[in-house]
Amino acid sequence: MKFDFLKRICCPPEYLAMSSAGIEIGNKFIRFVEFGNEGGRTILSNFGEVSLGQDTVKDGQILNRDALVQALKVVKEKISSDFVRVSIPEEGTYIFNTVIPRLNKNEIRSALEFKLEENVPLKVDEAVFEYEIVNGKEDGNDDMFLGVSVISRQMINNYLEVFELADLKIVSFELESKMAAKAIVPSNYNVTVLVVDIKRDSTILSVVIGGRVRFSSVVSVGESSMISCLKRINKDNSVSDKIPLSFLDLNDNLGVEAFDSLLNIYSILKDEIEKFNTYWLTQTANTETSRSDKPRKIVFCGRSAALPGFLNHISQSLGIETILANVWVNAIDTDKFLPTLGFVDSLDYATAIGLAMPCKE
């Protein structure tokens, strides 16, 4: 597969997107989702995860190519399509906003090349980028406010190589934060939302306005920190690589000692969310839209967000409404079709669901 295929990180035609699986690669798991059609309605037709061995992938960097290829071959056996849309881990991507004068459509990309090195630690020839017009129109009369997404060219090439070896055909590469937002922020919700996606070893924070990710950051605290706390409390080995579902049934089954142990992690994440929110508000304080940029809601995904007391701690500390995500809100009418993937476990699949959804842009 030639790199020319990825001159643009673009939306594929809808007929191809509908037949492609969404694949998210993390530090410990590869997750996949496929949608189908039954009687004219969208259904969840396939989902699952394949474990990755230690030191196979770390924060988007491929450490053991052969092990990753073998895991992808297992995924290939489980999905119905050879065409896939793949998320690039947030640690290997950058998002920035910029304003440029009115230009013709075919001039915009050249103008943005001059902005790249001012905003990301990559040279132009080391980067692949795409943009969205947030305000203003191509060939219009006003300045254009653009959201720019940037991925390392070397990372793209590394992922292309392993997918080729696994005989899977990549339709597009996407950013984790964008795909999670695509899945969980209602399409008709136009106010500012903070999305908090708790991964295995990190947490992705992103500002979403009108369905578009305007700013994102990664903090190095994730589910593994919570698992370590619970392992110290539960000496019976009931906690292994995953937090038991019995701890995540939205009832307080933890006990006082476990809750007190987790409270430190809750507070660390609360502080990171607060710093992120403060930075965002500082950056937009002098804009005409500063009032609408203030987050009205925090939406959490990642199954560890269902730990008892966590959302209350965040909400009470920050004074912002805090909820668990509905990962099906834009994909499936759950009044007509109820997915077999349970609610708590579905919180881990937001990125893969967004990848598997057809592109409507």
* Confidence band for 239, pLDDT divided at 50, 70 and 90: low
Structure confidence by residue, pLDDT tens digits, 149-158: 898 899 999 9
Task: Say which residue the tokens 């002098």 belong to.
Answer: 286
- Both tokens of residue 268? 């660390």
Mean pLDDT over residues 38-56, rounded? 92
DSSP secondary structure letters along 305-357: GGSTTHHHHHHHHHTSEEEE--TTTTT--TTT---SS-HHHHGGGHHHHHHHS
Give CA–CA dist 184/340, Å, rounded. Answer: 18
Q: Which amino acid is at 91?
A: E
Give CA–CA dist 243/307, Å, rounded. Answer: 9
Give CA–CA dist 179/121, Å, rounded. Answer: 23
C-alpha dist (Å) from residue 330 to 220, 231, 353, 357: 29, 36, 10, 9
Structure confidence by residue, pLDDT tens digits, 98-119: 888 888 888 898 889 988 888 8
> What is the pTM assigned to this prediction?
0.88
Structure confidence by residue, pLDDT tens digits, 248-287: 755 555 667 777 888 889 999 999 999 999 999 888 766 5
